Amino acid sequence: MNFEFSSQVQDLRERLQAFMDEHVYPNEALYLQQHAAGDRWEPAQIIDELKDRAKEAGLWNLFLPKEYGEFSPGLTVLEYAPLAEIMGRVLWASEVFNCSAPDTGNMECNRKSGCCHCWTVRFGRHLQ
């Protein structure tokens, strides 16, 4: 099996690592402060701020396979794995890129078994 990164994966890895270096790692202490001071059932404010930046950077829904069309970067599980590894270095980072469980599995299941309208209404805020 070939484990070399395709040019698309290498590009995404570099962009993701740069995003982590610029936005995630420097905000780890802020996240902990906001999390400790806030409602435990709501994400820390920095998460929502970084989500907007991740969308703008084209680092959104990286987990979705190519059958999801415009919502997906078109990666296989093998291609997504090195990106998940980078995100996994910070406990909350995958949420910034809309790649955190259980949302990922829920979005995939609902898209495959639910109607498009229901899926878009329920998860559209995560996809766009």
Q: What is the mean pLDDT of residues 70-79?
A: 86
pLDDT at 110: 62
pLDDT at 22: 98
> Does 87 have pLDDT greater than 80?
yes
How far apart CA 127 and CA 60 sit, in angstroms, is 8
What predicted TM-score, i.e. pTM, was given to this entire model? 0.82
> Does 128 have pLDDT greater than 60?
no
> Does 14 have pLDDT greater than 90?
yes
Residue 18 in tokens: 């740069």
Looking at per-residue pLDDT, the higher value among 48 and 103 belongs to 48
The closest of 50, 76, 51, 48 to 63, measured between CA atoms, is 76
Structural domains of the chain sorted by starting position, each given as residue range(s) with its CATH number in brackets: 7-100 (1.10.540.10)
How far apart CA 75 and CA 53 sit, in angstroms, is 21
Residue 16 in tokens: 């993701």
